Amino acid sequence: MAQAAAAGRVRDNGMKKQKFRFLAILLSCIMLLLSAEPALATSVSDLEKQKKELEQQKKEADAKKKQEQQKYDNAAGVADAIQGEVDEVAGEIDEIDAALVETIASVEIIEEEIEEKEAQIEETTGEYEEAIATEQEQYEAMKLRIKFMYEKGDSTYLEILLTSQSFADMMNKVEYVEKLYEYDRNLLEEYQAAREMVEALKEKLEEERAELEAQEHELMEEKESLEIILAEKKTLYEDYEAQLSRARQEAAVYKANIRKQNDEIKRLTAAAQEKQSQIDEAKRLEEEARKAQELALQRQGEEEARQNSGGGDSESSSDSSSGSSSKTYASASNYSGSGSKGQQIANYACQFIGNPYVPGGTSLTEGADCSGFVWRVYKDFGYSLPRTSYSMRSSGTGVSYSEAQPGDVVCYAGHVGIYIGGGQIVHASTQKTGIKITHATYKEILSVRRIV
């Protein structure tokens, strides 16, 4: 009986030691968990949920940034377009200013010429009146001599013959009378010619003065017209400047929003990374705790195996995946080999008919304005064009409309399109009609530019 009691006490002591070791292992696991970083205060599933929320917030911030970027691009495109109009009007103002200065200078020159003509006319008028007076005096003197010499008819010649001392004397007297008559007649003719010449000069000067006055009148009308046009252009320039200022302010607001979204995206990205670090650390600590628990259970099993038997457990996991698809258009490379390069460009551009018109836009699918549409089509073929319709007027080589070929850029006042042949263009028309085909001569063509 004593031996049996002693054996019972030994078994009890063994069981107590085994329980003590098991409790010690559990206590060490609990201490390990209690000494872990704060990440363990929240479960891994909660941390992953928080991370997903941060990633969703980041995705929303990315979408909002994209919207703000699109708004900024639109506003910047509008500002660029208005800047082109401002530059164009400024150039027109400079041209009108130069024309006005030239017209004013021409008016001053003509006024000086009119003054000179009036002085010449006044001087010529004096000469004319003097010539008339001289002619009249000579005429009166000749009349007296003619009257004296020929008034009595043949008797005068008879007296000359009778009073002559000789035949030679008679001939001298007759010759003298004839020379005197010839002298008077020649002198009178000279005065008449001089009078006529002065009169013709006077008439010519008066005609020239009349022409100068007519030119002055036309130039004054031109000056008034230029002043009116200049005032209108200045008003238009000021209006464009105001529009440009508003567009730039709007673009600045969108740009500030983009910076704000960038900061928010950076913050959310950092927070998600930090959350991932917490998840990784929590998983590490959970793994360590799990291993400690397994070790404790293993040791317990080893102790129990000495007396009874033990078992274990296992885990499994699974995951899934998904995909998405989106609508696409044929790329520019798909049109290679379909005719000339210009024809390829025209064919490529026509596939976007029906897409929207968006001021300042450059997207062939989401929306573009007239210059953004042309710019993007050519960009897809590797060509670099200016962004505004005004600047496109000087791109490539100018050709006449009768020589236009598919792919040529047709320029209008504040608008551009791509010629597709048959007297038609494809262009981003208006916000109401979007990208469409129109007759090329629907309004006045300023120029046709060949890029390829």
Strands 362-363 and 434-439: unpaired
Contact 80, 362 (CB under 8 A): no
Active-site option among 217, 411, 415, 439: 415
Q: Find tokens 């238009």 and name the residue.
A: 236
Active site includes 29? no
Distance CA 233, CA 221 (A): 18
Active-site option among 29, 217, 411, 427: 427
DSSP state letter for 408? P
Active-site option among 29, 217, 350, 370: 370
Helices 167-305 and 154-162 sit at what angle, rounded to 10 degrees?
A: 120
Active site includes 370? yes
Active site includes 411? no
Q: Is 414 left (phi over 0), alpha (psi -120 to 50) or beta?
A: left
235-251: b or e for each residue (b if 16 or more CB lie within 10 Å)? Answer: ebbeebeebbeebbebb
Distance (Å) of CA 177 to CA 113, 151, 184, 191, 281: 51, 14, 11, 21, 150
Q: Find tokens 């020649």 and name the residue.
A: 186
Rg over CA atoms, the chain: 56
Of residues 218, 219, 209, the one with CA closest to residue 105: 219
Which sequence positions are flagged as catalytic? Answer: 370, 415, 427
